[in-house]
Structure 1
Amino acid sequence: MAERILDVKNLKINFHTYAGDVKAIRDVSFHLNKGETLAIVGESGSGKSVTTKSLMGLLANNAEVIGGSIMYHDEDILKKSEKQMQNIRGKEIAMIFQDPMTSLDPTMKIGQQIAEPLMKHKKVEKKKAWAQALDILKLVGISNAEERIKDYPHQFSGGQRQRIVIAIALVCYPEILIADEPTTALDVTIQAQILQLMKELQAKIETSIIFITHDLGVVAGMADRVAVMYAGQIVEYGTVDEIFYNPQHPYTWGLLNSMPTLTSTKLEAIPGTPPDLLDPPKGDPFAARNPYAMKIDVEQQPPFFKVSETHYAATWLLHPDAPKVTPPEEIVRRHQLFAKMTHQSV
C-alpha cells in the first residue's frame, strides 16, 4: 500500500469581504501518496489555488480556515505558527507559481535566488550553495549555466525563467512540490518541455507533486490521480484513466467535451457561470448549468457515490433510482474505449 504523506480532511475556508463571507472552500478532502502526482482540475475560481495555498500557510489576510485539518507527518499544518511554517516552506513543501516573472526578484542574480533556500534551510555556506545552485541550473536545462548563473531574470526567456523557478523550488529536494498552473504563460512547445522536465526531476528526487491546472489536456501525461473541483468542492476523483475514459460527473463531462482531441469535430462550452459563493446553492452547485439536472439536484447536495475502489463522484445520476441518461457523444466514445482497454488488460 502506498505511503500517504499528506491528508486533507473536511477543509473549509471563508474570505471575509465587504459584501459578506465568500465560502471559497467547502468541505474538501483528499490525500497525497509518496512519489505520485495528484492533479486538481477545474475552471478558474473553483478553489484550486486557495486549497494549495492553505497547505503552504500563504492565505490572504482576509481568509479564515473555519474547519478541517491538513495532516503532514502526523501534524496539523493549520495549527503551526508562521515561524514553524517558514521552516517547512521551500524545505519540505515547495511551490511553483503561475507567472515566473513575478516569482523572481528582478534585482537579484538568479544564482543568488537559487542558493538562498540552501543557505536558509540547510545552513550551507555561500560558496557551496552557489555550487549546488549551478548543479541544479544544469539539471533544469539552462545552457551555459556557468555564465548565466550571474544573470538577472530579465535576461532570460519565459521558458527559461520557469525553469529557474522550478530550480528554486527543487533545490532543497522537498517532499511535496505544488505546481500552480506552471505552464499557463508559456507556448505549447515550451509547455511540453517543462512538463517533461518535471516528470524527469520527480523521478530523480522522488518528490510528490500536486499539479493545479484548468487544462485537462496537460493532466493526461502528468498525473496518477485526478481530483475535479467545482465551486469550492471536489465533485469527482479517481485515477487518471478513470477520469479521462470513464467520467461520471456532468461537470467532468463538460470539461472533457471542451477539450480538443484527434477525433472531436467540435468543442462544446459549458453553458452559464459558476455560482456566487457569497450565497452558495443548497443543492448540487452545478445544477443550474447541468442539462441532466433533476429536482433533487436543486434541493440536496449529492453524496459521493462509489464507482470503483479508486473512483468516486458526487452526482445524483449515480443513485440507483436515478433515470438512465445518455452522456454526450464524446463521453460515450470514451466509455467504450475504457471498456475495451480494461477488457484487454484482464
Structure 2
Amino acid sequence: MEDTTILDVKNLAISFKTFEGDVKAVRGVEFSLKKGETLAIVGESGSGKSVSTKAINRLLPKKNTMIDSGEILFEGKDLLKCSEKEMQKIRGNDIAMIFQDPMTSLNPTMQVGKQIAEPVRTHKGCTKEEAKERALELMELVGIHSPKQSYKSYPHQFSGGMRQRVMIAIALACEPKILIADEPTTALDVTIQAQILDLMNKLKKELDTSIIFITHDLGVVAQMADRVAVMYAGQIVEVGTADEIFYNPMHPYTWGLLASMPTLDVEETNLYTIPGSPPNLLHPPEGDAFAARNEYALAIDFYEEPELFQVSDTHYAKTWLLHPDAPDVTPPEEVIRRKEKFEMLHLGKGQSARVGGEAIGSHS
C-alpha cells in the first residue's frame, strides 16, 4: 500500500432542514484515505456514515441539505467547490459507489450488459463495440457466469448476489481511484456475502483501488479493513488500524459495539446490547454525545465535549477516559472474552492480533 493520501475530509458538518428544525447529521467529521487502502466506517443506523460519504460524491439532496463547514479534498481538489459539470466527470470515473440494494439502483428495463457498458461510453468515449467488450471483461472479472449470454439478461433474472456483482462491475467500469461501498452485503445471505467480500478484496489488490466500506457489521470490518473509523451521533469517536480497534479499543461506544457482536459460542444465550438510544440531533447534547448511554461516563462528559486523544501514531479516541487525570477503567467482560474469538473467527489469517503487546483497554 502506498503512503499517499488520495482523499482528505476536514471538519465536515452537514445539516438537514426539517419542519422541526435543523438536524445536525454530521458534526465536524475528519478522516483520510490512502491509495490502495480500505477504510471501514462503522456505527449504528443514523450515526452519519452514509451522509458523510454521499457528500464526497455530492449525492445529497440539494433542496434541504446544508454543508455548514468543511473541505473534501480529492487529490488536493476541494469537491465541495466543484461545479455540477465537474462532478459529473468525477462520479463513476474517479469515485464510484456501490449501494446496499442493487434492485433500487439497476434499471429494470435495461439489459445488465448495457448498464455495465454505459459508464465506459460516458466517461471513456469508447465506441459501442469497445464498451461492450469492456463490459464482457468486467462481467468475467466479477464472476458472472457465461458473460455473453448474461449480457442480455435483465436484473430480475439474476439472484441477489449476481445483481450485486453487476453493481460492482458498473462501479469498476472506469477503474475508479476510490470505491465507496455503502453496506453492499446487508441484503445477502452469509455465503453470498463472503463471496462478495472476497471478490472486493481480490479486485482491490488487482486494481490498487482505495475503498471506503460503510457497515454496521464488525465481522465484515475484520475481513475488509486496514483502518476503522467508529461513528456516533454524527462524529468520529475512534479511529485506528483494524488491529487497534479490535484488540485495543478505547472508546466505551466501541466497547459496546464489540461486546454486542454475536459469536459462535453456544453457551452465550443473551447478547449484550448498548442501553438507551442515540441522541436527537435536532438538539445535540452538551458534552459527550454518548454520555447518557455510557456506564463509564464521568461528570465532565455531561457538560464538556472531549477532545480526540492520541493513543498511538495511528490511533485516536474521543473520550475523557484517556485524560491523564481520568480513573483507570476496565472494559466490559464481554469485550475481553471476545478478544481470542475475534482472532480465531476473523483475524486469524496472517494478521497480527495484538497491538504493541498491550492488553485490551490499557491506556497508561
CA RMSD of aligned residues (A): 1.6
- Say if 2:57 and 2:91, in contact at 8 Å, map to a contact too: yes
The residue type equivalent to 1:20 in the other structure is G
- Say if 1:8 and 1:30, in contact at 8 Å, map to a contact too: yes
- Say if 1:246 and 1:334, in contact at 8 Å, map to a contact too: no
Compared with structure 1, are the counterparts of its residues 340 and 109 closer, same or farther at alpha carbon in structure 2 (3 Å cutoff)? closer
Q: How does 1:34-183 map to 2 (within 5 A)?
A: 34-61=35-62, 62-183=64-185
The residue type equivalent to 2:310 in the other structure is K
Is 1:276 the counterpart of 2:291? The answer is: no
Aligned-pair CA distance for 1:257? 0.4
Could you tell me which of 296, 299, 305 is aligned with 1:295? 299
Give the number of aligned pairs.
Answer: 344
Aligned-pair CA distance for 1:267? 2.0
SS in 1 for 2:9: strand
- Say if 2:228 and 2:242, in contact at 8 Å, map to a contact too: yes
Deviates more, 1:266-275 or 1:147-156: 266-275
* Mapped partners of 1:110, 1:341: distance in 2: 45
Structure 2: stretches of 5+ with no match in the other structure:
344-351, 359-364
Is 1:286 the counterpart of 2:297? The answer is: no
Q: How does 1:243-262 map to 2 (within 5 A)?
A: 243-262=245-264
CA-to-aligned-CA distance 1:190-211 (integer Å, 9 cap, x gap): 0000000000011111100000
TM-score by length of 2: 0.92
Aligned to 1:213: 215
* Mapped partners of 1:55, 1:114: distance in 2: 22
CA-to-aligned-CA distance 1:298-344 (integer Å, 9 cap, x gap): 00100011111110000011111111222111323467989967449
- Say if 2:39 and 2:228, in contact at 8 Å, map to a contact too: yes
SS in 1 for 2:17: strand
Aligned to 1:231: 233
Compared with structure 1, are the counterparts of its residues 113 and 159 closer, same or farther at alpha carbon in structure 2 (3 Å cutoff)? same
Structure 1: stretches of 5+ with no match in the other structure:
none
SS in 2 for 1:221: helix
TM-score by length of 1: 0.96
CA-to-aligned-CA distance 1:5-54 (integer Å, 9 cap, x gap): 00000000010111100000000000000000000000000000000000
Compared with structure 1, are the counterparts of its residues 81 and 51 closer, same or farther at alpha carbon in structure 2 (3 Å cutoff)? same
Percent identical among aligned pairs is 65
* Mapped partners of 1:343, 1:284: distance in 2: 30
CA-to-aligned-CA distance 1:237-265 (integer Å, 9 cap, x gap): 00000000110000000000010234583
* Mapped partners of 1:213, 1:45: distance in 2: 12
The residue type equivalent to 2:117 in the other structure is A
The residue type equivalent to 2:49 in the other structure is K
Aligned to 2:186: 184
Is 1:320 the counterpart of 2:324? The answer is: yes
Aligned to 2:204: 202
Aligned to 1:4: 5
- Say if 1:245 and 1:331, in contact at 8 Å, map to a contact too: no
Is 1:13 the counterpart of 2:14? The answer is: yes
* Mapped partners of 2:354, 2:135: distance in 1: 48
